[in-house]
């Protein structure tokens, strides 16, 4: 049986990312640091896979991640090639984005969300070694990414961008390992709350003291982001309930959460092109991003368009997960049809690790671009 609380967290993170990219509201990053939450959930799932399948879990994760990207690339890469993108061997990075794949001017903005898949890919590949280290020295392994980030931000170690991302988001991934192992749930309140408070105060102070171009936006501040997000994760996962039974009281809400979880990667990959395409169009008709009504219309239009493309190609996620393809997920199971072995997670028990994995999360933003419209933030979620 799935832990619906974790499904709900993923649902909220995905919705928050889309709304943030439409509105550009920096406050949303502080209220709900969605990207770190998504990486933490992914880390927990990866740990569950490694516990059950060993290194073979890497291939399973990649199998579920890449097909939806290939569908996106099949649409946008030819369009970019026809509009000026040079043909080079680097175009093959759209098949396996171990580094940022090439894009032309408009593609760099519309497809900037690929940074998340690049980082996710690295984290999956690094997970067998990280999990081996974690099982032998849990606390040092969890702290290592944060110490790396401190060294980078302090100028002690001038690292390349990929290592900086490890310092920022792999720490959240490792907290997911700790969640899977039951470490977070076993922390007493006398330990968990003071640690979370210390991290939040430290991160908040760093953010206030080092504001970015958008003010107090977590995406402009790596160290503040890491500390603030770690505090948030400790609370929402360290004191996670065993489920969200109340969700089933509303059939509509329960189905919506299921659909978004089953189509998380599709929503993530396709929402940004619509945000970028709609921004100049809605400005023309007067739906300004500075007007609450205009923002509401923008948000609804993006979700409507993402819904349409999800109906068209979202079934690819079912095929990648070796499930029966569905137009709208979450319908009644056919007689004799087995539950998805990769999509179910037992309800959490205090101190117990789940024996199977839920769907991969997918969501979140992109690289900064000097030409980004005011209402569009492509740096994160």
Confidence of residue 262 (pLDDT cuts 50, 70, 90): very high
Biggest CA pair distance of the chain: 60
The CA distance from 61 to 267, in Å, is 18
Q: What is the pLDDT of residue 128?
A: 97
Q: What is the pLDDT of residue 335?
A: 55
Dump the DSSP string for 322-365: T----SSSS-PPPTTPPP-TTT--PPP-TT---SS--PPP----
Q: Are 47 and 131 in contact (CB under 8 A)?
A: yes
Tracing tokens 């991302």 back to the chain, one arrives at: 165
The CA distance from 210 to 19, in Å, is 25
pLDDT of 23 over the 70 cut = yes
pLDDT of 191 over the 90 cut = yes
Q: Are 292 and 300 in contact (CB under 8 A)?
A: no
Q: What is the pLDDT of residue 160?
A: 77
Question: Two tokens at 177?
Answer: 């390992």
Per-residue pLDDT tens over the stretch 64-84: 999 999 999 999 999 999 998
The CA distance from 277 to 142, in Å, is 40
The CA distance from 104 to 80, in Å, is 6
Confidence of residue 284 (pLDDT cuts 50, 70, 90): low
Question: Two tokens at 379?
Answer: 């740096």
The residue that leads in pLDDT, 334 or 138, is: 138
Q: What is the pLDDT of residue 245?
A: 81
pLDDT of 367 over the 60 cut = no
The CA distance from 314 to 2, in Å, is 21
Give mean pLDDT, residues 17-38: 94
Confidence of residue 287 (pLDDT cuts 50, 70, 90): low
The CA distance from 79 to 166, in Å, is 32
Give mean pLDDT, residues 15-32: 93
The CA distance from 130 to 40, in Å, is 14
pLDDT, mean over the chain = 85
Q: What is the pLDDT of residue 1?
A: 54
Model pTM score: 0.86
Residues 6+ apart with CB under 8 A from 234: 175, 184, 187, 192, 195, 196, 199
The CA distance from 224 to 209, in Å, is 10
pLDDT of 354 over the 70 cut = no
The CA distance from 78 to 70, in Å, is 12
Question: Two tokens at 339?
Answer: 């539950």
The CA distance from 325 to 318, in Å, is 5
Q: Are 361 and 372 in contact (CB under 8 A)?
A: no
Q: Are 359 and 343 in contact (CB under 8 A)?
A: yes
Cα-Cα end-to-end distance for the chain: 29
Per-residue pLDDT tens over the stretch 113-163: 999 999 999 999 999 999 999 999 999 999 999 999 999 988 888 877 778
What share of the chain has pLDDT > 70, as a percent? 84
- Which secondary-structure segment (H or E) carries 211? none
Q: What is the pLDDT of residue 49?
A: 95
């Amino acid at each position: 049986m799935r832990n619906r609380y974790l499904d709900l967290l993923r649902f909220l993170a995905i919705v928050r990312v889309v709304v943030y990219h439409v509105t550009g509201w920096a406050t949303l990053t502080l209220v709900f640091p969605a990207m770190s939450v998504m990486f933490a959930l992914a880390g927990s799932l990866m740990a569950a896979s490694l516990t059950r399948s060993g290194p073979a879990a890497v291939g399973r994760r990649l199998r579920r991640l890449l097909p939806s990207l290939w569908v996106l690339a099949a649409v946008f890469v030819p369009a970019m090639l026809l509009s000026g993108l040079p043909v080079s061997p680097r175009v093959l990075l759209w098949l396996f984005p171990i580094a940022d794949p090439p894009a032309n001017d408009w593609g760099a903005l519309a497809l900037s969300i690929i940074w998340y898949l690049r980082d996710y890919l690295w984290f999956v590949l690094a997970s067998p070694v990280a999990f081996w280290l974690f099982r032998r020295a849990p606390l040092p392994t969890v702290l290592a990414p944060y110490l790396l980030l401190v060294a980078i931000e302090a100028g002690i170690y001038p690292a390349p961008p990929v290592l900086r991302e490890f310092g920022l988001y792999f720490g959240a991934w490792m907290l997911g390992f700790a969640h899977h192992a039951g470490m977070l749930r076993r922390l007493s309140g006398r330990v968990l709350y003071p640690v979370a408070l210390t991290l939040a105060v430290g991160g908040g102070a760093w953010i206030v003291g080092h504001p970015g171009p958008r003010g107090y936006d977590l995406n402009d501040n790596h160290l503040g982001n890491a500390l603030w997000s770690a505090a948030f994760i400790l609370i929402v996962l360290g004191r996670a309930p065993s489920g969200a039974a109340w969700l089933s009281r509303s059939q509509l809400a329960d189905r919506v959460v299921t659909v978004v979880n089953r189509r998380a990667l599709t929503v993530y990959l396709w929402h940004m092109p619509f945000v970028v395409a709609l921004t100049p169009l809605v400005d023309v008709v007067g739906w300004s991003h500075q007007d609450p009504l205009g923002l509401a219309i923008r948000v609804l239009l993006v979700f409507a368009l993402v819904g349409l493309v999800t109906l068209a190609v979202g079934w690819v996620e079912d095929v990648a997960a070796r499930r029966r393809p569905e137009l709208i997920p979450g319908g009644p199971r056919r007689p004799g049809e087995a539950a998805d072995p990769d999509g179910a997670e037992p309800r959490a028990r205090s101190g117990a690790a789940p024996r199977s994995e839920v769907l991969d999360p997918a969501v979140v933003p992109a690289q900064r671009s000097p030409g980004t419209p005011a209402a569009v933030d492509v740096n994160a979620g």
